[in-house]
Amino acid sequence: MLGTYNLPLLIGGVLSAGAAILHLLIIARGAAWYRFFGAGEAMARAAEQGRWYPAVVTAAIAALLGTWSAYALSGGGAIPALPLVRPVLLAITAVYLLRGLVILPVLILPRTEATAFGLWSSAICLVFGVVYALGLYQVWRQL
């Protein structure tokens, strides 16, 4: 039974779900969490002032990550097939990898400085992208 599942995509689904839950926790915990997780001072201040857009933007990111989780779990065989699973997983993988690699120009170009948030968020996205890519490669013909 275990052989019918794709472990990298299952792991990718769990990672994306965890990231979605984290974004919901950020909304619930407020400005201090927006600051800690690198959303920027403007978002943190807006959350402190009770403005709607930090929560809406963060909830939209959580929804997107939740959708990405569902697609990974679908491609990994844990839930029924979702529509267009192959191209959607390819697009998700590309987004994660590109987001992970976006830090490279910052590290290479003179007069640019990488922030701690930029470094660790890029590293996380790169890991997620590699996990998705490995899983997608393994199941490509079955999708």
Q: For 75-119, write each residue's pLDDT tens digit.
A: 999 999 999 999 999 999 999 999 999 999 988 888 888 888 999
The pLDDT value given to residue 115: 86
Mean pLDDT of 64-79: 98
Q: What is the pLDDT of residue 3?
A: 61
- Ranges of each domain in the chain: 2-142
Tokens 């950020």 identify what position? 26
Closest to 16 (Cα-Cα) out of 112, 127, 104, 137: 127
According to the model, what pLDDT value does residue 109 have? 86
Is 116 within 8 Å of 122 (Cβ atoms)? no
Percent of the chain with pLDDT over 70: 98
Quote the Cα angle for 26-32-36, to 5°.
80
16 or 118, higher pLDDT? 16
Question: Is a pLDDT exceeding 70 seen at residue 1?
Answer: no
